Structures are given as C-alpha cells and as structure tokens.
Chain A
Amino acid sequence: EADIYQTPRYLVIGTGKKITLECSQTMGHDKMYWYQQDPGMELHLIHYSYGVNSTEKGDLSSESTVSRIRTEHFPLTLESARPSHTSQYLCASSQRLAGELFFGEGSRLTVL
C-alpha cells in the first residue's frame, strides 16, 4: 500500500468558490505530481515538484496553482472554480526520476 493521501475524495461546489485539494505522502519522496483525468481519458500532468520550493507547470494548461513548502505536502488550489474544472485530480510521488509512481486515491471535483 502506498502512503500517499488525498483529501477530499469527493467535492461538489458552486462556481466561483476557492478550493484546495490536499495531498500528503509519508515516504519522504522529493518528487510529487498532480495529474488530471477525465472519464475514459488519459492522465495529463498539470503540475510537478522536484523538492521543497520547486514547482513547475505540466504539459496540460491549468488555472490551478500549487505550493511545496514541506517535502510531504503538495496542495493544489483553484482560486475560482468553474464547471470546466470538473474532473478527477490524482496526486503522485516518486523517489527518483523515471522511478515508480505512487498515486493517491484521487479527488473527484464537481463544479456546478
């Protein structure tokens, strides 16, 4: 079992609300990632971090932002949610580049 946790698992909110999806891992991994996945579609990388104070945008444009103040914590924030943000958000971590990815259970966001 991977020690990476996401909260909330499910969230339904109204348009314009600010939300933060939490992701924590207890494996001491430096590398952490956020992916977005729509039903039946492939995962797309939206943010990644190679360590504390390091954040980069992925290959899918996203209006979300991330921070990495502590090694174990990599939260994702949407300042003003829109229906187009409805999706599943998956957090992952790895010990090294090209190493095995450990995923959280996902946060399914629905914006009304």
Chain B
Amino acid sequence: KNQVEQSPQSLIILEGKNCTLQCNYTVSPFSNLRWYKQDTGRGPVSLTIMTFSENTKSNGRYTATLDADTKQSSLHITASQLSDSASYICVVSAGRGGSQGNLIFGKGTKLSVKP
C-alpha cells in the first residue's frame, strides 16, 4: 500500500533555530516528491518538487533532500522565523507519467516557532 509517513507530528522551536522535518514513503513507482507549507486555515503552498534524480533542492531558507534508495526525504529550515509556523506536508506522486490522481499525502508536521 502506498503510504507517506511524516515525523515528528508536531514540533516547537525558538525563533532563529534550525529544524529538520522527516518524510518516509513507500510509494511505487515513484514520480516525484513535493513539500508544501500550509498556514492555519489556508491552502497549501508549494515549497519544492524533487524528481528521482535530484538529491537536494533549496527555496530560500528551506532545503529539501531526497534519498530515493532509502525512500526518505527531509525538509531543513534554517534560521526559523515566526512566519514559519505552519503545517509542512510531504506529498509523493506515484506512477509513471505522474497522474495527479495518484498523489499520496502525508498528515503533515505542525511546526510552531516561538519568540
């Protein structure tokens, strides 16, 4: 069964600190992996999309890594800001051709950044 597991479920850090969120998946065949940021009560916003051949991708203070062999991804946030408080969702696209009907969503990690 295709699954995406994220950890931790929730995380509290102090402003200015770094943190790393984890995503493990059992999705086959693999097409791509995405990280989204979802503010409370809002729609998700894309941070990165990574294909099989990409190991690292950055978007400002966000850096995603992908290990397709171990089926693991991480999202590293550097020098956290209060505005980083949100849920971070890992999504894996299954199937060759990447049908949007085969997107497997994780439950997300809820990050709280405190002053």
Contacts and interface: CB of A to CB of B under 8 A. Distances in A.
Q: Do A and B come from one complex?
A: yes
Interface of A: 2, 6, 31, 33, 40-45, 48, 56, 58-59, 90, 92, 94, 97-98, 100-106, 108
B14 interface: no
Contacts of B46: 100-102
Contact of B105 (A43, A48, A97, A105): A43
Contacts of A42: 4, 89, 105-108
Sorted nearest first, the 3 A-B pairs with minimum C-beta distance are: A98-B98, A103-B43, A42-B105
Interface of B: 4, 31-32, 34, 41-46, 49, 89, 93, 97-101, 103, 105-108, 110
A31 B100 contact: yes
Contacts of A101: 34, 44, 46, 100, 103
